[in-house]
Structure 1
Amino acid sequence: MIRVLIADDETMMRAGARAILSADPEIEVVAEASDGREAVELVLRHRPDVALLDVQMPHLDGLDASSAILRSGVGTAVIIFTTFGKDDYISRALSEGASGFLLKSGDPRDLIAGVRAVADGAAYLSPEAAHHVIRGMSSGRTARGTAARERVGRLSAREQEVLALLGQGLANAQIARRLRLVEGTVKTHVSSILTRLGVDNRVQAAIIAHEAGLLDRVE
């Protein structure tokens, strides 16, 4: 069972998200919060697998709440869920360790898919958010590509294969199947990749994989 916390200052939005997630028998909404401060407190109390956070909330906005949750060490993954698709929101959320970014205007199926993917250790961006990220990477890819390739060059050949698949958004179990490895071995590779790249999470590693052109090699 995937345990989820929903934080949004609008009662109807919380109810809508709960209704969508409740359609999946393997997802349980264990708590709801109406502001960022309450969201952090409830995460510490309930330790859900995933926290779904709106950006604009009173007392503590979703981005600051996300940072507090990720720093707490409880192991809860964060998805930012908002009406705003601004590049700076997306960039900040991902750079600070959020595992997903969803727009409220998107397909309701993205919400379930996102929660499932993030709970399984993968990253998830809605199609609209992915467009923003790819556009941002494309605008400065030449400058950042050289640095990214240097960082990726420190990895072993196998780690580069794992990183390329991680960059596609695959979870550990999916990577294990593609490379015919034991899932535990993939977890070890992912941990090593994050350390050697000097990043905090899979999303940041995936961005480096894109910038280095690793996904161009994936068949």
Structure 2
Amino acid sequence: MGYVICLGGMIGVGKTSYTTLIAQHLNSEAFYESVDDNRLLDLFYNDRERFAFPLQIYFLNTRFRSIKKAMRHKNNVLDRSIYEDALFAKINFEDGMMKEAEFDCYLDLLHNMLEEIQELDHCTCPTGPKKRPDLFIYLRASFETIMERIEKRGRDYEQDPSHVNYFRRLHSRYDDWVFNHYKESDVLIIDADRIDITREEDAAEFLEILDAKLREIDEKETARLVQKVSYK
């Protein structure tokens, strides 16, 4: 069985490293968030109010492109997905960095894109395109861990102390979004404070957890198909 797996979590939590590890483990294609080639990120961190809206539109467009490709193929892993995007936009709106008209425009475009995903009709999967991911992996870490990793990776535009409140606000909303708002798939929560996949033993532990979760998903899908056939 093929899987579409989305990773999510705070800025700096390690999604790219996990994406690479999972893709190698499952021999699947990896879709990475557009960061290094994103000319708007540096502008955003220097002037959030001016560049919050264009940055959100940029990310929305690139995540839409990635999820469309992922849904049409057998095995894929995405290091952030379109489903998580609205959380960032909402924080920017609540912080006064996006005007109400901009936020409404963003939401309208997002809903239109999500409807389009449900109407995908061409793919390389014999069973047809997926309509939603199979698994969302939430990399959950303390704010202290997040800040340590942001500092360690050393992206200049993230290092300004004035951004700490933005990071703190975003971090404080993640649990609520995952536990109360994300409904697209099964969720696997990983304690990213304890598990550090740069350590070989932790990477092995994570892959064991992942494999067990994928077996559980397979068993549920098999039971669903058997039940469906029995009703015919």
The bucket for the TM-score relative to the shorter chain is: 0.3 to 0.5
Between 1 and 2, higher relative CO (CA 8 Å, sep ≥ 6) is seen in: 2
Report which of the two structures shows the higher radius of gyration computed on alpha carbons. 2
TM-score (norm 1): 0.37
